[in-house]
Each structure stands twice: as C-alpha cells, then as structure tokens.
Amino acid sequence: MGTPSSPNAPDPHDGEAAGRLAPSLPRRIAHFDLDTFFVSVERALAPSLIGKPVLVGGSGGRGVVASASYESREFGCHSAQPMSQALRLCPQAVVVPPHFDRYQESSRAFHTILRDESPIVEPSGIDEAYADLTGLGEGGTGARAAAERVRARTREELNLPVSVCIAGSRTTAKVGSDRAKPDGLLEVPVGEDAAFLAPLPLRELPLVGPRFGEQLAALGVRTIGGAAALDARWLEQRFGRAGVVLSERARGLDPTPVRAGGRGARSVSREVTFGEDVTDLERLRRTLRDHAERVGSDLRGQQRRARTVTLKLRWADFTTLNRSRTLERPVQSTDDLAAAGWGLLDELLARESLRPVRLIGLGATNLVEDAVQLGFDDGSARRAEQVDRAVDEIRGRYGRDSVTRGM
DNA sequence: TCTGGGGTCCTAGGACCC
DNA sequence: TCTGGGGTCCTAGGACCC
C-alpha cells in the first residue's frame, strides 16, 4: 500500500509528490455509510419494526428525529425534523427513543470489520468511514471485492445494511455512497469522478448547505457541473476559501488523504435543552456542574486537558451565545471546569439580565496532552484529581448515576 | 406545534509583539 | 515622534456535517 509509515513522509496522494514517488496507482477511495443507522440497529434488536415506518428520536415536546426509516420518508419525514412535525406527517410511525450505547457498540463492531478488510480506515462519525483501497489489485484482491466483503460481513454479523461507493477521491466517494443507498455498492470508474458528479444537484456536494446552496442558486448554479464550469478565481473572490474548495471538489479534485484512525477530537462538550425554559440560576449552575463532570470524565479518559472552556447559552427565543475563556493552565478536573463555566455565567449575567434559558452547554477546546506537572504547592488540586479519578472509576463500574456529588 | 446533541472548520476584529 | 506591516493569539459567531 502507499501508506506513509512515518508521519513526516510526504503524502503519496498529495500533488506533485504522487508523480515523483510511486508509479502512481489510481486512487481508490471508498466511503461506507450505514443506512438509517439508528433505525437499523433497533430493527436488528426488534425485528417487529421491520417494514414499519420508524422514527428514532426524542418524543418529548422538543424532540427531533435522529433517524427516519425509508417507510417514514415516504410521508416526508427526515432526520433533524421536529418529532411533532414528523408525527403530523406520519401519525402511524413507531417512535423509538434513542439507545446510544447500542449504537456505539454496533459502530465499534462495524469499524472492526472495516479494519479487518482494509489497510487504511478513517472513521467519520458514528455511522460512516473512509477507506483507502488504492493498489489492492484486481478480482478477488481488488477494491471492489474488499468493499463487498465488508458489506457481506456487516450484513451477516451485525444484521445491518451498509452502502458504499468507490471513487477517485473522498468527496466523490461520499456523494456516491448516498447515491448507492439503500444497501448498494457503486463504483465510479477511474478518471470519471468529474463526469459522475456533473449532473448531480449541487446540494449533494458536501460543503454546500442550505445557505451556500441558496447563494449559488441565485447565481443560476444548480448542478455540481455548473459549479465546475465557473471560473475558479471568480469563485475565490466571491466566496473566499469556500469558493476555492467548491471549485476543486466540483471538478472531482480532492487530494485529502485517508488518515488511518482519524485524528483525536478537537473539542469535548455537553449540552442540554430543557423540557421547559429555565430561569432558576441555581438549576443552571447545577446543570453546568453535571456537564463539567462528564466533559472532565471524557478529558481524563483521553488523558488530555483543555486550555479553553466555553459556556453556551440559548435563550427562549433561540438566540445563542458562546462565552469562552482561555485559562492560564490547562484543566481537566470537574471542579476546574465547573468553576470556569460558573465564572463565564456570572460575567455574562453581570452584563445582561437573565432571560428564560432553553439550552445550556459547556465545552472544552484547545486540548493538550496531559503532561502537566503540578507544582509542589498544588496539594488541593492533587486531591481534587484523586476524587475525580475515584468518581470516574465508580461510574465506570456501576454506571453514571451510582455516585452523586455535592456542589 | 417550530428548531437535539455532538462535532469541524472558517472568518473577522482586536490585542499584542516585533 | 510618527507610521507601517506581519504574525499570532483570543474571542464570537456562523455554516455545515452526521
């Protein structure tokens, strides 16, 4: 395989390096995407759901659809839709509350199959992954055969349908796996990425969301080929970096390598939308502390610390604010994270009065490896960390609700 | 009966330093 | 004393993705 063994080795797919290094094999990038993932996992566990319109998501007043079966989509249901709206469109739908631990488990098993069958796998979210199948050869050893094995094993071992596209770049493979659904395999022949993309609606290109799509539609551009035909410099002037990327991707150019294992997370956060708006400051502070506990636990599990802590607030009118603070020393403990969150909340409320709060969240960014030496006078910090470790340990064994801390 | 929760990346302005 | 430019960090917001 053309994998660089050292992190500093030039990427064989990156621009000129490709020509100088290997006798450049055509890139074969696969994108795997589990179909209606949450619904499929629920069906694997409860076959009575098969064939019915199923909506996985929050059923409360503010719940949204996380995953909608194809039967429900016939009625106009889709993910991210308010559940109330989905049920108006399809009253006979079966609503299933999400079971994220089950999805994590299936996701892990799926990624294990992928790593068995492909040399370089980059997970991309819970239900998809890229694989670099370049140089696998033809026939039984080829890229297509590897993709077929993944599909067969995922179906047999996990009872889950997965769609895949093999193409010359990540972007094309990603667009193609959507086109392959449900439960299909699509291969874009070598050198035909641009031709494959050209007739497709622009909105199918990742990067083009509602907003960008609208701006481009206003210019009369509605297909990927239409964007490919525009002058690249003009796109850059008009849209900046997004214009440059659009121009390249629309022409099937995307040298981004598949990175084995992906990268570590850049941030960790928790947030909650209350069932009803909250004006009780103590309740907000308690919620922030719960978030700090879980964010801290994640950081400790990853052996990382955060240099920056962010408070997120959403008022009842959906206005959303972020307030962040970069600390002198990177933090990891529940106490430090909570203190930073409370401080940000206090500062905010010193400037504007408290309005009914719909959502409150706490985030940790600017993450660094946990190599910080505590000074000799940091006895209290050391004790706090010991408590954190003990709490993590008990929760790991007996579940999250097994320990309750005071404020 | 509006709009979840977890992320990534980009932009833009201001502070600060050289 | 005035003026300029570049680079980096921090903060806030927003588009986009699953």
- Contact between A30 and A185 under an 8 Å Cβ cutoff? The reply is no
Q: What is the pLDDT of residue A8?
A: 39
Closest to A94 in 3D by CA, of A111, A117, A77: A77
Peptide bond into A97 cis (omega under 30): no
Scanning every strand, the nucleotide with its C1' closest to A80's CA turns out to be: B4
**A172 has pLDDT over 80:** yes
Amino acid at A6: S
* Nearest protein residue by Cα to C1' of nucleotide C9: A326
**CA–C1' span, A55 to C14, in Å?**
29
- Phi–psi pair at A270, nearest 5 degrees: -135, 140
Nearest nucleotide to A348, CA against C1' atoms = C12
Task: Say if residue A279's pLDDT is above 90.
Answer: yes
Among the listed residues A128, A187, A293, A385, the single catalytic one is A128
How much is the pLDDT for A328? 93
**Interval A137-143 mean pLDDT:** 76
Q: Which nucleotide is nearest to A364 (CA to C1')?
A: B7
CA nearest A337: which of A296, A282, A393? Answer: A296
| Phi then psi dihedrals of residue A269, to 5 deg | -150, 160
| pLDDT value of residue A6 | 38
Is A128 one of the catalytic residues? Answer: yes
Q: Which residue is nearest to nucleotide C12 (CA to C1')?
A: A322
Listed as ranges, the nucleotides of chain C within 7 A of a protein C-beta are 9-18
Asked if A322 CB < 7 A from strand C, the reply is yes
Going by pLDDT thresholds of 50, 70 and 90, the confidence category of residue A305 is very high
CA of A256 to C1' of B10 (A): 18
Q: Of residues 79 to 98 in chain A, which lie within 7 A of strand C by their beta carbon?
A: 80
A271 touches strand B (CB under 7 A): yes
Residues 6+ apart with CB under 8 A from A188: A165, A166, A167, A168, A172, A173, A176, A196
Other Cβ atoms closer than 10 A to A192: 14
Token pair 């892990």 in the structure block, residue: A108
- Token digits for A1? 């395989």
Report how far residue A130's alpha carbon sits from residue A174's, in angstroms, rounded to the nearest whole number: 8
Instruction: Answer whether any strand B atom is within 7 A of the Cβ of A97.
Output: no
CA of A85 to C1' of B4 (A): 14
Q: Where are the alpha helices (DSSP H) in A118-240?
A: 143-158, 170-180, 193-197, 210-218, 224-228, 232-239
Determine the Cα–Cα distance for residues A377 and A386; give it in Å rounded to an integer.
16
* Consecutive H or E run containing A360: strand A357-369
Q: How many residues in total does chain A contain? A: 407
Q: Is a pLDDT exceeding 60 seen at residue A18?
A: no
The confidence score (pLDDT) of residue A240 equals 92
Cα-based angle A299, A302, A307 (whole degrees, multiple of 5): 45
Q: HSE on the CB side for A24, CA within 13 Å? A: 15
Closest residue, by C-alpha, to the C1' of B3:
A82
A198 pLDDT band, cuts 50/70/90, is very high
Judge whether residue A323 contacts strand C, using its CB and a 7 Å cut-off: yes
Distance (Å, rounded) from C-alpha A362 to C-alpha A342? 10
Provide the residue type at A49 as one letter. L
Angle between helices A100-117 and A143-158 (to 10 degrees): 150
Query: Are the C-beta atoms of A54 and A96 separated by less than 8 Å?
Result: yes
Nucleotide of closest approach to A61 (CA, C1'): B1
Contact A360, A271 (CB under 8 A): yes
The secondary element (H helix, E strand) that includes residue A344 is helix A334-351
Measured between alpha carbons, how far is A284 from A345 in angstroms, rounded to an integer? 9
Q: What is the structure's pLDDT at A16?
A: 39
**CB of A321 nearer than 7 A to strand C:** yes
Cα separation, A171 vs A207, whole angstroms: 10
Is there contact between A396 and strand C, defined as CB under 7 Å from any strand atom? no
- Which chain A residues in 191-210 sit with Cβ < 7 A of strand B? none
Asked whether residue A241, judged by its CB, lies under 7 Å from any atom of the DNA or RNA strand B, the reply is yes
Nucleotide nearest A263, CA–C1', reads: B8
Q: What does the angle CA A14 – CA A17 – CA A23 come to, to the nearest 5 degrees?
A: 110
User: Shortest CA–C1' contact from A344: which nucleotide?
Assistant: C11
CA of A263 to C1' of B15 (A): 31
Residue A271 has pLDDT above 60, yes or no: yes
User: Taking the model in full, what pTM does it have?
Assistant: 0.88
The DSSP bridge partners found for residue A305 are A368
DSSP element (H, E) containing A301 = helix A281-302
Q: Is strand B less than 7 A from the beta carbon of A95?
A: no
Nucleotides of B under 7 A from a protein CB: 1-12
pLDDT of A320-375, one tens digit each? 999 999 999 999 999 999 999 999 999 999 999 999 999 999 999 999 998 755 55
Output the six-digit token pair for A403. Answer: 């320990």
Place of tokens 């193409």: A167
> Which A residues 19-58 have CB within 7 Å of strand B?
58
Residue A37: in which H helix or E strand, if any?
A: helix A37-45
DSSP result, A273-287: EEEEEE--HHHHHHH
DSSP notation for A80-93: TSBHHHHHHH-TTP
Q: How far apart are CA A236 and CA A254, in angstroms?
A: 17
pLDDT of A232 strictly over 80: yes
User: Are the beta carbons of A258 and A29 closer than 8 angstroms?
Assistant: yes
